[in-house]
Amino acid sequence: MGFIPVAPPGTMGEGAIDYRLARQAVLRQYRAGELSEHEVCDAHPELMRAAVEYSTAITEACPVCADGTLALVSYVFGPRLPPYGRCVNSAAEIDRIRRRKGVFTCYVVEVCADCRWNHLRRAYTL
Ligand SMILES: [Zn+2]
């Protein structure tokens, strides 16, 4: 059975899920030696490509290697989009999808292009 995350009421917009606690748990396990670096730094090559070429850079340092800076990669899933989602990196693209019929969900993943750390940061409905 999978993990079904629930956002605490009143903490985020409707339909939004914040994965900070799950991220902290993974990093705690990594720092305690319960998870190895190759288990937490396992970004898929396509995610790495998106992080380098089609992402939003942020000023946060990577929590694993501390050398790299994080990039946010956003994927939108919904009707008439590819089954693997559409990678978007601008508010204009998200607005264009939001105006379509149907329910769309955006997943934002943080990625370090240096060490391949990646973690789902948040998900929200458009
Ligand atoms: Zn890193």
Domain boundaries of the chain, sorted by first residue: 16-125
Going from the Cα of 14 to the center of ligand 1, the distance in angstroms, rounded, reads: 31
For the chain, give the number of residues: 126
Could you give the percent of the chain with pLDDT greater than 90?
83
Q: What pLDDT is stored for residue 119 in this prediction?
A: 98
Q: Average pLDDT, stretch 61-80?
A: 94
Could you give the percent of the chain with pLDDT greater than 70?
89
**Cβ neighbours, 10 Å, residue 70:** 24
Going from the Cα of 113 to the center of ligand 1, the distance in angstroms, rounded, reads: 7
In angstroms, how far is CA 53 from the centroid of its own chain? 16
Split at pLDDT 50, 70, 90, the class of 15 is confident
Going from the Cα of 80 to the center of ligand 1, the distance in angstroms, rounded, reads: 34
Average pLDDT, the chain: 90
Q: Average pLDDT, stretch 77-92?
A: 94
73 near 54, Cβ under 8 Å? yes
Kindly tell me if the per-residue pLDDT of 76 is higher than 60: yes
Going from the Cα of 9 to the center of ligand 1, the distance in angstroms, rounded, reads: 32
Q: Average pLDDT, stretch 66-87?
A: 94
Q: What pLDDT is stored for residue 1 in this prediction?
A: 41
Token reading at 2: 């999978």
Q: Average pLDDT, stretch 46-68?
A: 94
Going from the Cα of 77 to the center of ligand 1, the distance in angstroms, rounded, reads: 27
Split at pLDDT 50, 70, 90, the class of 37 is very high
Q: What pLDDT is stored for residue 2 in this prediction?
A: 44
